[in-house]
Structure 1
Amino acid sequence: MELPLLLLLLLPIIAHSLTQEGLYLQQAKQTLEDPYGSLSNWNPRDQTPCNWSGITCTTNSVTSVDLTDMNLSGPFPSILCRLPNLTRISLSSNYINSSLSDTSLSGCDSLRNLDLSLNSLIGPLPKSLSSLPSLRYVDFSGNNFTGEIPDSYGLFPKIETLSLLNNLLNHTISPVLGNLSTLKVLNLSYNPFSPGPIPPSIGNLTNLERLWLSRCNLVGSIPPEIGNLKRLINLDVSNNGLTGSIPDSMRGLESVVQIELFNNSLGGTLPTGMGKLAKLRRFDASMNRLVGGIPEDLCGLPLESLNLYTNNLEGPIPEAIAESPNLYELKLFENRLTGKIPSKLGKVSPLVTLDLSVNQLSGELPPEICGGGSLQELLLIQNSLSGPLPEGLGRCRTLTRVRLVHNSFSGSVPDGVWGLPQSSP
């Protein structure tokens, strides 16, 4: 049976026509400005979009649209949600503008990963976002979203990462976030929230691994419920107005590697029992109002960085700190510390920065203060240190800054010290 002539003429066109998913992508392209031709190979004459820039397919169906850092501008292309198997959208580091309405992402039922960070989005956060059943990763950081975190954001069924870093959110942090039992990463830092507390409900997030709340206008005390976060690796509540003491429950953070508490108004003493934090490598509680001594068990940990400067701490520096094989940074300046500098400091640790200025320390400098050969900054201004300077100080070629003034050192300055870029023996 012979085919009609018209059908024969149309066969080449049908055989090479773009799939429906490709047509959706073409419509998305038309809504975006592309000054550098980043989408120039999105050819409507192709049979499939699977070889186009930023497009990933599985069994010839689009599963990922990754247009990161392509200098694209325009509104969010909602038509992407018509792609039935789409699991990932990344438009990060572009100039996507306007707002996200509650219908902008409707239909994206397969979406697992949504990254719209570092764009120019404005207006409120879309309340309907939590209705997407498969969503696990949301990054809206570096935009201009305003208003509140919607109560509906406590209803994400599978969310693991929620980053709203560096926006213009200006209500208090909602306690409904404590309902997100699957959450592993919560980043709300650098938002001008109304002054308010850390919601105690945060302690319900028992799968949380990273909690970043820096510069969130937080006030009040750190809730003891924070100690329930057994899987927490990184805690940052720095640069707020927190008061009260550091809760003893913090020693329950058995997985924590880094704790940042600096630049608050925390008082009281450092908690005892912090030696239980076997994985802790960095502890920074500087620029607070802490009193009392530095706990021996804290210094007995294999710390890499210990910053407790600008407090009201008293007593000696525990000898145990000198035994850390990883310590590269020790900043205890502007306290009321007394006694001697630990005698073995520098012998075992790969110290890079040592600042013990403005204390009441006495005695001599440890002879192997530069023993590891990595020391770059040695700052001991305004103490009561005495005795000769170690000869090895002059052979410490890594040193770039030495400040030893307002002490009672005796003898000559070792050869080589005067030639350092910022020396002030």
Structure 2
Amino acid sequence: MERPSGMSAGVLFRRVLMLCLSLSVVSVSQADELQLLLKLKSSLATPSTTGVFSSWRVGNDKCNFTGIVCNSGGFVTEINLSQMGLVGTLPFDSICSLGSLEKIDLGENRFYGKVVDDLRNCTRLKYFNLGFNSFSGTVPDLSTLSRLEFLNLNNSGFSGIFPWKSLENMTNLGFLSLGDNFFDVTSPFPMEAIKLEKLYWLYLTNCSIRGQIPEGIGNLTLLENLELSDNELSGEIPRGIARLGRLQQLELYDNFLTGKLPLGFGNLTSLVNFDASHNRLEGGLSEIRFLTSLASLQLFENQLTGEIPEELGEFKNLTELSLYSNRLTGSLPPKLGSWSDFKYVDVSDNSLTGSIPPDMCKNVKMTDFLMLDNKLTGTIPATYTDCSSLIRVRLNNNSLSGAVPAGIWGLPNLIIIDLGANQLEGSITSDIRRGKSLAQLLLSDNKFSGELPEAMSEASALVSIQLSLNGFVGKIPSTIGNLTKLNTLNLNGNLLSSSIPVSIVSCVALAVVNLSNNSLTGEIPDSIGNLQTLNSLNLSNNKLSGKIPLSLGLMKLSLLDLSNNRLTGPIPDSLSTEAYHDSFDGNPSLCSQRLEQFRPCISSSQATTPVGVILSCFFAGISLLLIMFAIMMYAKFRKRSKSLKSVNSLCRPDSWNMKSYCVLSFTERDIIDFIKTENLIGRGGSGNVYKVVLGNGKELAVKHIWASCSGSFRSHPSSSAILSKKRKSSPEYDAEVAALSSIRHVNVVKLYCSITSEDSHLLVYEYLPNGSLWDRLHESQKMEMGWEVRYEIALGAALGLEYLHHGCARPIIHRDVKSSNILLDKEWKPRIADFGLAKIVQASPGGNWTHAIAGTLGYIAPEYAYTMKVSEKSDVYSFGVVLMELVTGRRPIESEFGENKDIVHWVREHMSSKNSLLDLVDSNISDTLKEDAVEVLRIAILCTANIPTVRPSMRMVVQMLEEAEPCSLNNILVDKVGENSEKTEGKQLNSGSQN
């Protein structure tokens, strides 16, 4: 056989091979085809709610089967079973025996297993779609499928190296979608793809491609859609891309592209969507002014300069504009958004000047109004009072002035109003009562005045109120207790007077309270200690009087500041610790038996009094003691009766349900008998924790979540979950069990079993004798840990989080990573604990949203407070804070950091030099290891980047930590911790455990 000139031996071989394969396909009869289809049916399962295969049975014409199309001769040409919820493996040996088959559409199901080489026999295929499934292994050689016009393997679970050479034979291919798979070897841009001249759709997003986009991309002149995002592409956008005149969508985001938009880019006049965000592009936007068909322009997180072209204000189809985090100057086009159903604008973090365009919500479609961190001036246009579609308004850190138009306070769908750091004035009007969706009201550092309206308490969805550094006067609304979702209340630096309303204790979700620098009077409410989620309390620089409530001593606060008031009496012993050494200054009438800066408290036995007074006091005391004893015994009897009733109900054979997650050596009765006060070792936001010692000496930790028959969730005063009279799990319980029951990792706390009854939920864990990392760094159990031990804790905790993010079938976001949720075993190895806030990531294009701020002050990622969007990068930020704790020995929030400042801000202030960072290292770390500690501090700085996408993944964090291993680790692993552990082991509680 003579080889045509110009044809390589390899191409000739493949064509001969395809010819042989096509000739080898044995013709099958229609009866055979029926059996082949029935074999396909038998290998799959369907949801019970669908009748996909109800027509697939002997006796029916196969051409009338659901999803089957035949040709005029009665032979099967199409199998279309997409989006049917099908589960199973695909028998391609049977499928590809259908000799006339031209179309296979099985996308968006739940198929798994490998796609075998039998697929090569489907030589007549023109349309092949396996997108959005759960296959494994590599994509087989597809070179025999030379007739393909449509190939979609997007998001199907494939791994390994894609067989790019297979594309050389697909000269008719118009649609190619291979993105979002687990191709694990980074390869150069596939030159085979740019030879497919009939392509109109090319989707290679998240395809492990590196290097430059070839100039030859301009040869694909039929392209309408080009998506190359989330790869490792570098270099400039090629000029050849300007030849793609039919291009409607161009997606290049999340790469490393540099340089300017190429000359001639404005020729892409059909372009509707353009996204090149999160790259390193520079230069101006002059080419954009010609793209009059644009509906969405996304160029955020680049290094673009110059002005926004005024022509954008004339784009009649533009609905989305996102240019934040660039270096843009000048003013916004005055007609921006006035022609279309404008929905979204984010030009934050630039240097824009001038006024806000007035007509962006002209058609009442806009949802996001984001222009923070610029130099905008003028007033907020009154036209936005009618913008009922608005969800987010963020204009903070500009130079805006004047009063806020009254109607904005009460917009019905608004979740966040962020106007901080401007020069705005006027008052909050009673219109705010209509803001039923409002979660965050952020007005700090302005010139607002007047009284806080009682109507504010009718905005029942409020989670955060931050009004510091303004001129508000009068009292805190007495009805503030109606805000049961309120997490943060910051009224610092105003002119408020009167007392702290007692109703504040009804704000059961409060974590942060800052009422400092006002003129508040009266006493601190005794019941404030019932706010079990409270993490930070600042009442300094007021005129508060009376005693410090004893209940404050029962709380674990990361910040407590009662300084510069008029408080009297003793400082509770539990608060007389180094952690709160300056929390009570400026209260001359306080006394303490432990804090040296205060006078000692004088007991009654030390005072000199007349004998009659002493006798009177003695008999009065005896009487009081008798009364108190009677009350205590009665209360104890009631409590014991109630406790016995609860335990007895658990012990009834028909009242409990035990579900084990591993082989157990104990029964539910062994656990239940220990749920009593004397075994209580910790309290947390979602339950009490008890220590259980089995007969064989094995120690366990048990979290007890108890619900009353009336339906209120009672493990904790701050809990708000509602249960029916029938047994119904709490959100915390469901989250913790779902997250932990399937996890097997040495650095994640082990869940043995769950025990549930009508009114109780128990989770049984391994017991960690060395308590939490918080205790070892900051509390009374504080110990001098050397750097080697701290490093091992950091690496172990990182490995645990890496597993949650990358090792589970569906990533688990912890959402409350902090040092008190990192527990230590007897060998000081860490465990990630407390999954009460965990979120298992759903595969939805809109991401994972929440309408409440979950987490702990000082650890919460900045974007979480205003986007309410959950991501793994939020955990990375929190872990970065933990690393800073380990290196510096400091708590996340300390008064010396400054008002509204935290450890992240404090560390960043010292980033100018290596010596500055060395100064931050804990003095308990030896000088020879401080440089090793600084390397970890640099990792922490990366983890706490303001922009989530800039933060490394936990997989990258682990790699960086492994590279930062201290040189001495192989020689020394035990330092002062080892010396002290034997002395303190008997006293160490599992405090904070499973909180």
TM-score by length of 1: 0.80
1:4 paired residue number: none
Give distance in 1, aligned partners of 2:57 and 2:340.
59
Map 1:387-398; keep pairs closer than 5 Å: 387-398=378-389
Q: Cα offset for 1:345?
A: 1.8
2:150 paired residue number: 137
Give distance in 2, aligned partners of 1:95 and 1:377.
35
SS of the residue corresponding to residue 235 of structure 1 reads strand
Distance 1:337 1:76, change over 3 A: same
1:113 paired residue number: 127
Give distance in 2, aligned partners of 1:125 and 1:300.
39
Give distance in 1, aligned partners of 2:288 and 2:86.
52
2:85·2:110 contact (CA, 8 Å) conserved in 1?
no
Counterpart residue identity of residue 321, structure 1: L
Give distance in 1, aligned partners of 2:132 and 2:303.
40
Distance 1:363 1:62, change over 3 A: closer
Counterpart residue identity of residue 423, structure 1: I
SS of the residue corresponding to residue 203 of structure 1 reads helix
2:69·2:78 contact (CA, 8 Å) conserved in 1?
yes
1:424 paired residue number: 418
2:194 paired residue number: 203
Distance 1:289 1:206, change over 3 A: same
Aligned match for 2:318, one of 323, 327, 340:
327
Give distance in 2, aligned partners of 1:416 and 1:198.
53
Name whichever of 329-338 and 214-223 sits farther off. 214-223
1:73 paired residue number: 88
1:252 paired residue number: 243
Distance 1:265 1:348, change over 3 A: same
Give distance in 2, aligned partners of 1:387 and 1:93.
51
2:68·2:79 contact (CA, 8 Å) conserved in 1?
yes
Map 1:18-417; keep pairs closer than 5 Å: 19-32=31-44, 36=48, 38-45=52-59, 48-58=61-71, 59-68=73-82, 69=84, 71-106=86-121, 108-127=122-141, 129-132=142-145, 134-150=147-163, 153-156=166-169, 159=170, 181-191=171-181, 192-298=183-289, 300-417=291-408
Q: Cα offset for 1:312?
A: 1.6
Bigger radius of gyration, 1 or 2?
2
Give distance in 2, aligned partners of 1:347 and 1:42.
55
- Larger proportion of helix: 2
Give distance in 2, aligned partners of 1:256 and 1:94.
30
2:148·2:172 contact (CA, 8 Å) conserved in 1?
no
1:275·1:301 contact (CA, 8 Å) conserved in 2?
no
1:167 paired residue number: none
Counterpart residue identity of residue 378, structure 2: G
Distance 1:418 1:97, change over 3 A: closer
SS of the residue corresponding to residue 290 of structure 1 reads strand
Give distance in 1, aligned partners of 2:358 and 2:394.
17
SS of the residue corresponding to residue 378 of structure 2 reads strand
Give distance in 2, aligned partners of 1:31 and 1:383.
60
Distance 1:196 1:298, change over 3 A: farther
Identity among equivalent pairs (%): 37
1:12 paired residue number: none
Name whichever of 278-287 and 387-396 sits farther off. 387-396
Q: Deviations over 1:65-109 (max 9, x none)?
A: 334426352441523433343333344445544434334553x44
Distance 1:254 1:363, change over 3 A: same
Q: Cα offset for 1:330?
A: 0.9
2:10 paired residue number: none
2:172·2:196 contact (CA, 8 Å) conserved in 1?
yes
Give distance in 1, aligned partners of 2:293 and 2:103.
40
Counterpart residue identity of residue 33, structure 2: E
Counterpart residue identity of residue 350, structure 2: N
Q: Deviations over 1:5-62 (max 9, x none)?
A: xxxxxxxxxxxxx93433443444455556857434433345x433333333333333
2:152·2:175 contact (CA, 8 Å) conserved in 1?
no
- Larger proportion of strand: 1
Q: Cα offset for 1:269?
A: 1.5
2:269·2:291 contact (CA, 8 Å) conserved in 1?
no
Instruction: Compute the RMSD of aligned alpha carbons.
Output: 2.8
1:76·1:97 contact (CA, 8 Å) conserved in 2?
no
1:309·1:331 contact (CA, 8 Å) conserved in 2?
yes
Q: Deviations over 1:200-250 (max 9, x none)?
A: 453322221111121123222222211222111111111122222222222
- Return 5+ residue gaps in structure 2 as ranges: 1-29, 420-995
Q: Deviations over 1:277-327 (max 9, x none)?
A: 110111112111122211155455231111111112222111001000011
1:87·1:111 contact (CA, 8 Å) conserved in 2?
yes
Q: Cα offset for 1:423?
A: 1.7
Give distance in 2, aligned partners of 1:84 and 1:227.
38
Distance 1:196 1:354, change over 3 A: same
Counterpart residue identity of residue 101, structure 1: V
Give distance in 2, aligned partners of 1:124 and 1:361.
49
Give distance in 1, aligned partners of 2:220 and 2:274.
17
Counterpart residue identity of residue 150, structure 1: P
Give distance in 2, aligned partners of 1:145 and 1:300.
37
Give distance in 2, aligned partners of 1:347 and 1:80.
55
Q: Cα offset for 1:253?
A: 1.2
